[in-house]
Amino acid sequence: MYTLYGMPDSGNCYKPRLAAEQLGIACRWVEVRDTRSPEFLAKNPNGKVPLLELGDGGFLPESNAILWYLAEGTALAPAGRLGRAHALQWMFFEQYSHEPYVAVARSIVRHTPPDSPRRAELPRLRERGRQALGVMERHLAREPYFVDGVYSIADIALFAYTHCAEDGGIELAPYPAVRAWLECVRAQPRFVPMQ
């Protein structure tokens, strides 16, 4: 059995939790409150969650690496060289063009006081988040999912923070294809919501 260390309201921690559930992989959840404790740093020197503890006592950090590990050889991992490359393309997009804006805006709104200087970042974060959603909208206007027309770990990676973008003040109303895709993801077998 695997152990997944994470924080319940983190989209990055939600990704492997959702994949494991949909794949029927037994995964014990351990909530982490202090990622800088000596005990946790011994497991992941980078001091971040999610972290997957493997059956052999090894550890695998980084949400999208965990997604690939769990999905290897299953229907959630795109087949073929180009399919895998397209999945990676969207997963890199999620980490570099989506998450730094959509997730950070959400975090600032949810976890900082109204007078926090960090709130000054919100207009730029929201604008860049809308740009990322625009890229997704154009793709999803032509395709039901992100890779080869079928649900995959690329969709899980992008769903995690897109579905709660409004928590950070990024409205989803202007993106009908994105909203339709979100409903398709929610309709997948063994779907579980983020805590």
Range of the domain at 139: 81-186
pTM for this one? 0.97
The reported pLDDT for the residue numbered 55 is 85
In this prediction, residue 195 has a pLDDT band, given cuts at 50, 70 and 90, of confident
Q: Which residue has the higher pLDDT, 1 or 90?
A: 90
DSSP string, 106-161: HHHHHHS-TT-GGGGGHHHHHHHHHHHHHHHHHHHTT-SSSBTTB--HHHHHHHHH
Question: What does the pLDDT look like over 13-69, one tens digit per residue?
Answer: 999 999 999 999 999 999 999 999 999 999 999 999 999 999 888 999 999 999 999
112 and 43 assigned to the same domain: no
Phi and psi for 187 in degrees, rounded to 5? -85, 0
The predicted-structure confidence for 70-124, as pLDDT tens digits, reads as follows 999 999 999 899 999 999 999 999 999 999 999 999 999 999 999 999 999 999 9
CATH number at residue 46: 3.40.30.10
Residue that terminates a domain, selected from 53, 71, 89: 71
| Whether residue 102 is found in the same domain as residue 180 | yes
Residue 43 shares a structural domain with residue 102:
no
Looking at the structure, do residues 62 and 112 belong to the same domain, yes or no? no
Whether residue 89 is found in the same domain as residue 139: yes
- Tell me which of 30, 45, 71 is where a domain ends: 71
Answer whether residue 76 is part of any domain: no
Q: Are residues 89 and 175 in the same domain?
A: yes
Question: CA 120, CA 114: separation in Å to the nearest integer?
Answer: 10
3 membership: H or E segment, kind and range: strand 2-6
- 87 and 174 together in one domain: yes
Please tell me the total count of domains within the chain. Answer: 2
